[in-house]
Amino acid sequence: MVQVSSGDGKEPKNRARMVMDATAGAIAGCVARFITGPLDVIKIRFQVQLEPISGSSQLSKYKGFGQALTTIAREEGIQVSAQGATTLRLQRPPHDHGPS
């Protein structure tokens, strides 16, 4: 049986516990990306928007969070929040499991 130290001075973890921990981490990462993906799209749209943001300006495409969310969903569809997600998923494991 493979046993790896847990790093906290307690008893070592067995293989089943390591698989369970890895699976829980992967599921948590997917849920987090699913929730934060649309928020990242909106944040980036506000960051690259050249027009000033003000309540009375007709020049700004995105004026607020709700309006930006509905405009993006209507014009580009909800799948726009998934663009680039595969690249991010492939990028995360090497960065997440590096030396601490």
pLDDT per residue over 36-62, tens digit each? 888 888 888 888 887 666 555 567 788
Helix or strand or coil: residue 97? Answer: coil
Residue 79 pLDDT exceeds 60 = yes
Give the pLDDT score at 1. 47
Residue 58, class by beta-carbon neighbours within 10 Å (0-12 exposed, 13-18 middle, 19+ buried)? exposed
Q: How many CB atoms lie within 10 A of CB 63?
A: 19
Please give the average per-residue pLDDT across 78-92, as a whole number: 64
Predicted TM-score (pTM) of the model is 0.55
**pLDDT over 60 (residue 76):** yes
Residues 61-69, mean pLDDT to the nearest whole number: 88
